Homo-oligomer: A and B are copies of this chain.
Amino acid sequence: MIASGVTGIAYETVETPDRRLPLLMPMSEVAGRMATQVGATFLQRNHGGRGVLMGGVPGVAPANVAILGAGTVGANAARVAVGMGAQVTVVDINHDRLQYLDDIYTGALQTRASNEYNIEEVVYEADLVIGAVLIPGGRAPSLVTRTMLQEMRNGSVIVDVAVDQGGCIETSRPTTHSNPTYVIDGVVHYCVANMPGAVPRTSTFALVNQTMTYTLRLAGDGINAIRNSQPLCLGLNTHRGQLTYAAVAEAFGMDYVAPLKALAS
């Protein structure tokens, strides 16, 4: 890209002043809601799971779902899990997020502060564990370790939504839609790196909804649009042969030029 002199903006680096990543968010929403759906599928016996129906039926216990993380992915996963009738517990270190979920779902799900004790407790009780901890720009911590798998039920399922950023489950490694799962210590792992790709119609609309605003500005004002929009400016990676994204420059040991300076050239 540098050689070609192209002006390049990466989806995943467009960032608002309050440090959110608007072009990634719709994919987190899709992945969160899909995580529960695929978890339900792989809990079926014919897909290797325990043979438990998410919502149970009157008189029979529903599936127990532990969701690690109450951000966009976790909240969306929780919503579908509650909707399907599962018994849901969401774990996070952010009290404000737990409070919000507690307000919205008043009693239909439970929340726990994230610490080793609580994570072990909810994971060992769970039929389905959804890993939904994403640390922007860094590898998520391994909240579920290899050792912990042995205490989990045979046929239980882990869906690690964070897998494309390293995952928050020690034993997770990226899989594909054509070969989505593998089993370790009797626990089914679903770690498809590009989950939203399975629902392209929904994902494309969701993505376009977010990008359209920026695209229209770029189409109208060209380079000036980048100068005048902090998110685009923060997302600029290359311009006229210059590397304008600090983390990439550092990672590759290349020279970094500040976006506004590069644009002025």
A258 to chain B, nearest CB (A): 27
What B residues does A83 contact at CB under 8 A? 55, 80, 82-85, 106-107
Which of the residues B52, B57, B61, B79 comes within 8 Å of A29, measured between beta carbons? B57
Which of the residues B33, B41, B50, B99 comes within 8 Å of A41, measured between beta carbons? B41
What B residues does A55 contact at CB under 8 A? 33, 79-80, 83, 107
The stretch of A129-137, A182-190, A205-213, A242-250 in contact with B is A205-213
A195 to chain B, nearest CB (A): 10
Interface size bucket, A side?
Answer: 35 or more
A238 to chain B, nearest CB (A): 27
What B residues does A33 contact at CB under 8 A? 53-55, 57, 84-85
A211 to chain B, nearest CB (A): 11
Interface residue A87 (Cβ < 8 Å from any Cβ of B):
yes
Known contacts A33-B85, A60-B113; 14 additional CB pairs below 8 A are A26-B59, A30-B57, A33-B57, A55-B83, A58-B98, A58-B99, A59-B98, A59-B205, A60-B206, A61-B110, A80-B85, A87-B110, A95-B210, A115-B212
